[in-house]
Amino acid sequence: GVSEDVSGFVVPLCATIHLAGDTITLVLTSMGVMLMSGITPDIQSILPFIFMLGITMIAAPGIPGGGVYAALGLLQDMLFFTAPQQGLMIALHAAQDSFGTATNITGDGAIAIIVDTIASKFMKNTKIKK
């Protein structure tokens, strides 16, 4: 039910931005790995990681597992993950990557509907005709 103009803009844009699925997955799995390693995650370490991860996921490659590989530097530099912890993150991400992909696709559809609603209201209010 989304107009062709809006879908032609939103779908390619959202296909390159893997924000929802990868960000949720990487935050939760990194907290799990921290807890398994005896480190208690706190808001002072996780919140900056979430913000930087949000920026990183905009540039993450659109290939399976691309998000976790783009985030390895953040895991190392911000959460001080060792090489074995990073390897565990890659394995955990690979095991559930399809769920993150489903989250991304659902979010993309929701964004397309929102943009279409805003665009149609804008077109009606400004009386712009195609």
**Which whole-number Å values give the CA distances from 110 to 2, 29, 66, in the listed order?**
10, 25, 23
Q: Provide the residue type at 11 as one letter.
A: V
Confidence at residue 18, expressed as pLDDT on a 0 to 100 scale: 61
Query: pLDDT per residue over 82-120, tens digit each?
Result: 999 999 999 999 898 888 778 888 888 899 999 999 988
Which DSSP category does 96 fall into? H
User: 97 near 65, Cβ under 8 Å?
Assistant: yes
**Could you tell me the end-to-end alpha-carbon distance of the chain, in angstroms, rounded to an integer?**
18
Confidence at residue 130, expressed as pLDDT on a 0 to 100 scale: 56
Confidence at residue 63, expressed as pLDDT on a 0 to 100 scale: 75
**What is the model's pTM?**
0.76
> Which residues in the chain land under pLDDT 70?
18, 61, 127-130
Confidence at residue 49, expressed as pLDDT on a 0 to 100 scale: 96
Judge residue 57's burial from the number of C-beta atoms within 10 Å of its C-beta, 0-12 exposed, 13-18 middle, 19 or more buried: buried
User: 114 near 6, Cβ under 8 Å?
Assistant: no
Rounded Cα gap, residues 115 and 9, in angstroms = 10
